[in-house]
Structure 1
Amino acid sequence: MVHFSSNVFFVAFFLYCFAFLFFVIAIAGKRWGNNRDPEAHEKKWGRISFIVSCAALLGHLLFFFTRWIGSKQIPTSNMYEFMTFLAMAIMIAFTIVYAIYRKNLLGMFTLPLVVIIIAYASVFPSDVQPLIPALQSNWLKVHVTTAALGEAFFAVGFAAGMVYLTRVVDFKGTDKKAKREQFWLEFCYYSIILVVGFILAVFVFKGAGYEAQFVQEKVKIDSQGVEQSANETVDYTLPPIAKPYNSQAVKVDAFLGMKDGLFEAPSWMNGVNAGRKLNTVIWSLITGTLLYGLLRLLFRKRLSAVVHPLTEGIDAEDLDEISYRAIAIGFPVFTLGALIFAMIWANKAWGRFWGWDPKEVWALITWLYYSAYLHFRLSRGWHGKKSAWLAVIGFVIVLFTLVGVNLVIAGLHSYAGV
């Protein structure tokens, strides 16, 4: 059953890719020279795109439930399963929003996000892992699924915000304000390319069979305050620019003469496998920057300026409304999943509602941020660019909560990074 679910997931991934390409045809095809009826063209290809994306979502749902049946546990217990579920939740949120507003440009921005998240999930081990005792609870189902669904609507709000900013930023302006907006919007595109570059690097080195292994000595303090040392093996699939702190190389495949890590990860990065994760961040910067540079050479202009012409004719107020509505829907769902259900589960698992665990703290920060977003939107009248920038920054905080916290800090949720 698990093998079948993996095959279905593979098909769903390619359907997502095709749906994205069809959305691009729906938008970009309006500008083709022989297109006599642009509106009919967009309507036709938009319908095809939506049908294909729905088929992909059905395949994704089939993957989720068959994996659940085959493993006899809800597939949200590690990073691979959670990220694939998050991608599915984003598609559910997108399908709901698209059915209401019918904006094809939203699909052109949301589908790549889904594809990138699925590709990122594929970096992690896909084997079914037994649940640790703290996860063996029905509250896992309601906590993780509702929290992810809330974050999925935040993702759609982010996509609409990106489309809005691409639509309204003045790319011909030369004053200080226009240049600042151009720079930060382009930085958002650059950040997305960094993730794509990292995924490409991982798959290239995996395909080449690259391996590196280190033995790391860790000092732990037991319940009686006595220091105890233990050795842990850390496996790398990318050349070790940053090796684990206080470690020795066991095996390092040759790459550009590299026989050991160039430097050790800082000692204050004490998350699970922090050295390996720091190494992936560095490779993301290297490969993503190279990929971004190649794209800039190809188009000879900012990537945001390349996409901007495709947004012409789109009502900016509609995009602003979509972003707000998506976040307004996601906020109460996230409140239930990430705070209320999470605290109930924490009390069941650890005997306390709140313990200042890093993930708990950042979930609270995320909730406070979106609370401020809604406050400024409804009470202060922050519409348009201000609202769109807040939507974009908010999802960056969500991603840091999901991924970045595990790099720096070890906590009760660190198993999610394994």
Structure 2
Amino acid sequence: MNWLDFSSSAFIAAFFLYCFGFLFYVMAIAGRKWSHGDPAGHERKWGRIAFIVSALGLAAHLAFFFTRWIGQGHIPVSNMYEFMTFLGMAVMLAFVIIFLIYRKPILGMFALPLVIIIIAYASVFPQESQPLIPALNSYWLKIHVTTAALGEAFLAVGFAAGLLHLLRTIDYASDAKNARRERFWIEVTMFMLIVAVGFIISVFSFRMAGYEAEFRQETADVTQAGEAVSNVETVRYTMPPIVQPFNSELLHADAFLGVDKPLLEAPSWMNGINAGRKLNTVIWSLLTGAILYGLLRLAFRKQLGAVIHPMTTDIDPDDLDEISYRAIAIGFPIFTLGALIFAMIWAQIAWSRFWGWDPKEVWALITWLFYSAYLHLRLSRGWHGKRSSWLTVIGFVIIMFTLIGVNLVIAGLHSYAGV
């Protein structure tokens, strides 16, 4: 049996089951108005169906994980594709645990899209099975990465509940300055999530179209002996080059909408030939996300938060606040073990030092300090409700930058994770 082929099929099955599970959760919540006088019964029925379908998706995801492990001979968490798929699975597992405790179907409307976005994002990266590089060939890979991801998964569920709490409690009928400011920042949060979807859509759209462009960049380095050494590098774009690398030469580019050359050049301070490609990807993600957001605003003719707000009116906001806190209270010690303690032990074994100010280490510490402050403010200063929920949103932004920005943009000892 080809375990890797089976794992790929299981992954596709998990993705579609998650999508159907999300749709059923939407039917459970949004369909209450058509429930013929029994909205609670309608929500329970479709919520149960949604949970079963989502649980089947988790089972398929687990099948993907373990069959890929068997097929390649090592735990599949060694590159961005494998880690992000594992993170998506961990978020789903965390959601199932929290759901079984609190039984709130509307939480699935926010947790499932996170899972779908994460594993769709994972699919952007090369999916071929790769042998472990020497730096990762350790049993600490299993311990450090899995516990760190599981901790982050519970923190992500805390974010979902916190965002839902804000959507429930923000006043969409008031013209007060504070209410307008809260609505603005909620809409910014929704836009950021849609930009993430825009990134996935743009990458897959141009990949399916087979778009290619290639640039060559020549740089000069000075050796210790004072001799000038010329380096020539090439980079391939899979999206139309709005921005080309600094001081580079276009080798070829497919035409897109009649344009076959870059519009701009990356600034000189963006070092490396890949810097322009990454900036180009960010621009396309923002453009696609903005178009998608604009279409949604045009369709609904109101802010996206205002579209979701009426679905949350039957939920006790204190329950959402409690769910968010409990998820973070579970995830924080797991994250502490995985991302800090186990990471430092492995760093001592691999690099002969516990701490080295590597960018990933620094941002893991920033994440830990932020959630330490969150728990301190909540338990000692009484920061409940909206203030606590806004902190969960900020914390999730920090997590996403740690996972994506540090891995793919900032060079460091963890750069292999972006391969």
The 8 Å contact of residues 243 and 266 in structure 2, kept in 1 or not, is answered as yes
Question: Which residue is equivalent to 1:381?
Answer: 382
Question: Which residue is equivalent to 2:12?
Answer: 10
The 8 Å contact of residues 274 and 406 in structure 1, kept in 2 or not, is answered as no
Structure 2 CA distance for partners of 1:148 and 1:221, relative to 1, 3 Å: farther
Tell me the alpha carbon deviations over residues 120-158 of structure 1, each in whole angstroms, 9 at most, x when there is no partner: 111111111222211111111111111111110110000
Worse-superposed segment, 306-315 or 130-139: 130-139
Structure 2 CA distance for partners of 1:313 and 1:221, relative to 1, 3 Å: farther
Cα deviation for residue 267 of structure 1 reads 4.1
Matches within 5 A, 1:22-61: 22-32=24-34, 35-61=36-62
Aligned-residue CA RMSD (Å): 1.8
Question: Which residue is equivalent to 1:364?
Answer: 365
Question: Which residue is equivalent to 2:116?
Answer: 115
Q: Which runs of 5+ in 2 are unaligned?
A: none
Cα distance in structure 2, aligned partners of 1:80 and 1:261: 29
Cα deviation for residue 379 of structure 1 reads 0.3
Cα deviation for residue 221 of structure 1 reads 7.2
Cα deviation for residue 259 of structure 1 reads 2.7
Cα deviation for residue 200 of structure 1 reads 1.2
Matches within 5 A, 1:6-405: 6-32=8-34, 35-217=36-218, 228-270=229-271, 273-405=274-406
Worse-superposed segment, 151-160 or 233-242: 233-242
Residue 124 of structure 1 aligns to a residue whose secondary structure is coil
Structure 2 CA distance for partners of 1:271 and 1:361, relative to 1, 3 Å: farther
The 8 Å contact of residues 234 and 273 in structure 2, kept in 1 or not, is answered as no
Residue 273 of structure 1 aligns to a residue whose secondary structure is helix
Tell me the alpha carbon deviations over residues 47-66 of structure 1, each in whole angstroms, 9 at most, x when there is no partner: 11111111100100110111
Structure 2 CA distance for partners of 1:357 and 1:60, relative to 1, 3 Å: same
TM-score normalized by structure 1? 0.96
TM-score normalized by structure 2? 0.95
Query: Percent identical across equivalent pairs?
Result: 69
Cα deviation for residue 234 of structure 1 reads 1.8
Tell me the alpha carbon deviations over residues 205-229 of structure 1, each in whole angstroms, 9 at most, x when there is no partner: 1111111122334556778897654
Structure 2 CA distance for partners of 1:351 and 1:295, relative to 1, 3 Å: same
Tell me the alpha carbon deviations over residues 352-382 of structure 1, each in whole angstroms, 9 at most, x when there is no partner: 1111111110010000000000000000000
Tell me the alpha carbon deviations over residues 136-191 of structure 1, each in whole angstroms, 9 at most, x when there is no partner: 11111111111111110110000001100000000011111010001001111111
The 8 Å contact of residues 245 and 273 in structure 2, kept in 1 or not, is answered as no
Residue 125 of structure 1 aligns to a residue whose secondary structure is coil
Structure 2 CA distance for partners of 1:391 and 1:128, relative to 1, 3 Å: same
Letter of the aligned partner of 1:3 in structure 2? D
Letter of the aligned partner of 1:252 in structure 2? A
Residue 147 of structure 2 aligns to a residue whose secondary structure is helix
Tell me the alpha carbon deviations over residues 64-108 of structure 1, each in whole angstroms, 9 at most, x when there is no partner: 111111111211111111111110000010000000000111001
Structure 2 CA distance for partners of 1:270 and 1:101, relative to 1, 3 Å: farther
Structure 2 CA distance for partners of 1:45 and 1:238, relative to 1, 3 Å: same
Cα distance in structure 2, aligned partners of 1:255 and 1:320: 48
Count of aligned pairs between the two proteins: 417
Worse-superposed segment, 262-271 or 325-334: 262-271
Cα deviation for residue 276 of structure 1 reads 1.8
Cα deviation for residue 253 of structure 1 reads 0.8
Cα distance in structure 2, aligned partners of 1:271 and 1:377: 43
Letter of the aligned partner of 1:320 in structure 2? D
Q: Which runs of 5+ in 1 are unaligned?
A: none
Letter of the aligned partner of 1:304 in structure 2? G
